[in-house]
Structure 1
Amino acid sequence: MALDDFITSAPSVAGFGMTSAACFSVPAAIPLAMMQGTCISDPAQIAHCGERHKNLAGKADDAKAQLQQIVDKRASADKWDGKDKKLFSDTHVAPYAQACDQTAQLHNGINGSLGTLATVYQVVGGLSAAIGGIMLAWSLTVDATAAIPGVDVATEGAATAAAETSNGVFRTVLNGLLALAKKLAPMLKSIKGLLGLVGLGFGGDLAGKTMLTGSTSANTAFWPGDPMPSTPTKT
């Protein structure tokens, strides 16, 4: 794990840890800690996954350009032009070029979606850390005033109110995160298992294990005039 991975993971982990520690003195913070736990994530890993899709989009664009260059070079060398070349290009080259365009568009879209998701997780992680710090401070105050009659009750009441307010704020943010995931679902569903990261909250681990699947079959195009490989016959 790289240093930037650790840094982007730290806020959500710290927020959950501080709120969990505060639960011993402020029981009202227990639901808050549970929600923060579901949002522990590694935004850097999600962003890295998006970068890999961006690289794949670039390779698809390069493949399209190289294919056209090969066709033009061979046609020029053979002095082959006109309707025959156009027919060959329309029949054999255009479908591959279109597939390359669609592939690049798909991977660029996935990269954009993952970038958005990583940014949102960073914001949620920062909020979690801030709320965790507040709850930890309240728990220390509760512990410090526990032996003072009258003050202890007031402090516990104020801490409980703070926990309930934080609970409502974080629940709203969590609902927003889930709504974003639902909005991005049509794009993200092409990545095996990635949608599970929102429900489980451990996006970094799942994004790192994401696997892309696809067909390995392709049609072969032969240049006009070149001998075609013979097809083995069954005996």
Structure 2
Amino acid sequence: MKLAIITGASKGLGASIAERMIIEGTGIISVSRTENPELAKLAAENQVFFAQYFCNLSSPDELESAFSELTALLQEKQPETLYVFNNAGVIDPIGTAGNLDHAALIQNAHVNLIAPIMISNILLREVSSEMTIVNITSGAAERPIQGWSAYCSTKAGINMFTETAALELQTAGSRHKIIAFSPGVMDTAMQGTIRSSAKEAFHDLEKFQAYKEKGMLRDTETVANALVDLLLQKEIESGKVYYVNDLI
């Protein structure tokens, strides 16, 4: 049995990854705040395993509780291969330094950076199955974008965690692998949040509005297919940041 853990699997890129993995015969463990009944239905139609764990990833206590149950399930199922997609992410707070909402800032750090590190830490400690961890990152990890200091910083952090964890796994002689994947600009709810920002908070607002108006946003299915093709058809390099534009 092959299983995939996907955070934020109820919508957007996470849902598209889940759909493709189900079609490939991989069971899904969805970790999200909301449910997507269509995923369970698709899994049933394809006769693959499906489980839903409700969890607010901005809460370390909720995360610890959910993954305690989840690791018990993995020990029961003993999958031969496990894929982990740390996909959930938030863009808020959008605003310049000196004008950031602290509650939103803390949530951003928890969801974008602390949760993926905690999840990876728990699974690397508790799971014996051969595992590939995919951290969803962003081009914003590598360049400053005015108004996105929180998002840029947390995504830069996840890139460094990916590289460091890969080095540690290599030193330990582990068969596990960990990579980061930059999906580019997609047509998601996050993009809607970006486009509704105030101009004074986000300098590049008009550029991102133009992406939508000119049909320049990729659909999540195309991006998910590129990522899954990479995992299933190629030999991946642990610690590497992969970019969707290099795969399509």
TM-score range normalised by the length of the shorter chain: under 0.3
Q: Return the TM-score normalized by structure 2.
A: 0.23
> Which structure has the larger Rg over C-alpha atoms?
1
Q: Going by fraction, where is helix more abundant, 1 or 2?
A: 1
Q: Return the TM-score normalized by structure 1.
A: 0.24
Greater relative CO (CA pairs within 8 A, separation 6+)? 1
